[in-house]
Amino acid sequence: MKKVLVVDDEPSIVTLLEYNLKRENFEVESATNGTDALDKIENNNYSIVLLDLMLPEMSGEDVLKRIRMDRIETPVIVLTAKDTEFDRVFGLEMGADDYIAKPFSPREVIARINAVLRRYKAEKPQPANSEKADGDDHSAVGPFTIDTKQYRVLLNGKNLRLTPKEFELFEYLANHERQVFSREQLLSGVWGFDYSGQSRMVDIQIAHLREKIETDPKHPVYLKTVRGFGYEFVSGDE
């Protein structure tokens, strides 16, 4: 049975979600503050977490940062009344898998949960020209080594210290080397949903990646812009 942790300090929302999730055969636990939520996530194996941002004791943002820093890969959907573009981008950049603003429909939440879980369980393709190194957790693409176990990318042996979402974007592009993606395709492929009107989020992440992987981010060698369409990754290997 799929196990969900609902984190919200509003009892009515917790009750609403628990009722509807149990009707869909989910096992449900709850937490009403960030400290309790972090403890539960670190000590339990949840299928997914529904996380409010505005929590007592520890904010949802801090909970999300902590679990991603600890390499806990449990999918997280952020539920919050904070619905500005900055908050949406911030939550997704910190490693959330989706973002739903309050008020929301329980049916929509369940649909989003199922979509995230389908994507999470899907097998990720290996780069067509990759060579395995040091076991199945590592693949080499040009000068880069992708370590899926440690959630990191190395350039000529140096750890680039990517955020979780930067890592996912890099891995996705490297897995499809020399394939050109539009911003909308990257939103769907990396974030898993059609974030209509959120294409600037891709540009922000691309800019962050270039700062870390390129010698001269203004003249990228690996992460190229295809004018009028989107982006492609080129490792340098012919």
Preceding peptide of 164 cis, ω within 30°: no
Torsion angle in degrees (nearest 10) through CA of 110, 115, 120, 124: 180
Are 81 and 153 a contacting pair, CB within 8 Å? Answer: no
Domains in the chain and their CATH numbers? 3-121 (3.40.50.2300), 131-233 (1.10.10.10)
Alpha carbon of residue 110 to chain centroid: 18
Per-residue pLDDT of the chain (238 residues; tens, 9 = 90+): 899 999 999 999 999 999 999 999 999 999 999 999 999 999 999 999 999 988 999 999 899 988 887 778 899 999 877 656 556 666 666 778 888 888 889 999 999 899 888 877 754 444 445 444 445 678 889 999 998 877 789 999 899 988 777 888 999 999 999 999 998 888 888 876 555 556 777 888 899 899 999 999 999 999 999 998 999 999 975 4
Nearest to 99 by CA among 129, 65, 124, 75: 75
Tell me phi and psi for residue 185, to 5 degrees. Answer: -65, -40
- The reply to whether the predicted model has a pTM over 0.75 is no
